[in-house]
């Protein structure tokens, strides 16, 4: 059991044992189609207008070992939050409206989701200076961000990859958590959510095994109850309507004891 504070139903001994023996996994890759249907003219127009403005040059970014937040936004900014795999962008749009003083980075590899976000972003007339997008592998960008540059990260309803042979494709794994711990500031928060119980257990176990993350939940209601300021996505709302239970997982980025004692 990864933790015992009212959480036994989400952390199980077999999962912990399996994960502890399998900490080294191949790097997360992108799978699936990049586009599922043709874009409407109006959404294509939003992509043509905004993508090049809001996305850093992908070739230059991939060639760099590190890029600074100043390079990304064109000026020094803070605080910065990063949402990985934002789908159609409802949550990212909601965050920008709810927290107008926060600077956002959003990664979504699929053109349909990116187009939906950019179209809504344009309709809502949100400030271009406060967001940067990345239509590619979110981990690739994360690996190039500087140390301790983020205050918060979101990984919401990622692909569960239910077959065991595909578990190595799950985005929450020790290697990616190493990257998240490096780019999150101490005290920063990693927010994860899923309506797949097996994936919730996996994410809790993986993050609990990592020495630089601490689960903030004190009781089961902390992860079963929707947070008061939560912004639900269409996917989440649809799943709840079908009776699926969403888990809300908050992990704090901490310093390992070995570093605290120095």
Residue 131: exposed, middle, or buried by beta-carbon count in 10 A (0-12, 13-18, 19+)? buried
Q: Please calculate the CA angle 43-45-51 and round it to the nearest 5 degrees.
A: 90
Specify whether the CB–CB gap between 102 and 79 falls below 8 A: yes
Euclidean distance between CA atoms 46 and 114, whole angstroms: 10
* Number of CB atoms found within 10 A of residue 129's CB: 12
Q: Is 195 a catalytic residue?
A: no
Give the closest residue to 118 by CA, choosing from 150, 145, 142, 86.
Answer: 86
Return the residue matching tokens 């004692």. Answer: 261
Euclidean distance between CA atoms 158 and 132, whole angstroms: 20
Give the closest residue to 191 by CA, choosing from 146, 158, 154, 139.
Answer: 154
Catalytic residue chosen out of the listed positions 159, 178, 198, 229? 159
Specify whether the CB–CB gap between 183 and 147 falls below 8 A: yes
Active site residues: 159
């Amino acid at each position: 059991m990864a933790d015992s504070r009212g959480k036994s139903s989400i952390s199980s001994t077999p999962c912990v044992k399996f994960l502890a023996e399998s900490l080294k996994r191949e790097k997360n890759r992108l799978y699936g189609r990049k586009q599922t249907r043709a874009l409407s003219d109006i959404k294509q127009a939003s992509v043509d207008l905004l993508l090049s403005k809001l996305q850093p040059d992908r070739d230059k970014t991939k060639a760099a070992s590190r890029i600074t937040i100043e390079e990304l936004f064109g000026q020094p900014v803070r605080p910065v939050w990063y949402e990985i795999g934002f789908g159609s962008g409802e949550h990212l749009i909601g965050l920008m409206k709810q927290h107008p003083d926060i600077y956002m980075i959003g990664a979504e590899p699929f053109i349909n989701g990116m187009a939906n976000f950019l179209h809504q972003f344009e309709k809502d007339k949100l400030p271009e200076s406060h967001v940067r997008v990345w239509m590619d592998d979110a981990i690739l960008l994360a690996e190039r961000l500087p140390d301790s540059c983020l205050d918060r990260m979101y990984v919401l309803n990622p692909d569960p990859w239910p077959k065991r042979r595909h578990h190595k494709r799950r985005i929450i794994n020790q290697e990616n958590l190493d990257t998240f711990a490096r780019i999150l500031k101490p005290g920063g928060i990693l927010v994860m959510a899923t309506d797949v119980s097996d994936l919730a257990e996996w994410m809790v176990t993986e993050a609990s095994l990592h020495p630089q993350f601490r689960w903030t939940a004190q009781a089961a209601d902390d992860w079963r109850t929707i947070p008061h300021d939560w912004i639900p996505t269409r996917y989440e709302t649809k799943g709840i309507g079908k009776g699926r239970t969403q888990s809300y997982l908050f992990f704090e980025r901490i310093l390992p004891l070995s570093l605290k004692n120095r």
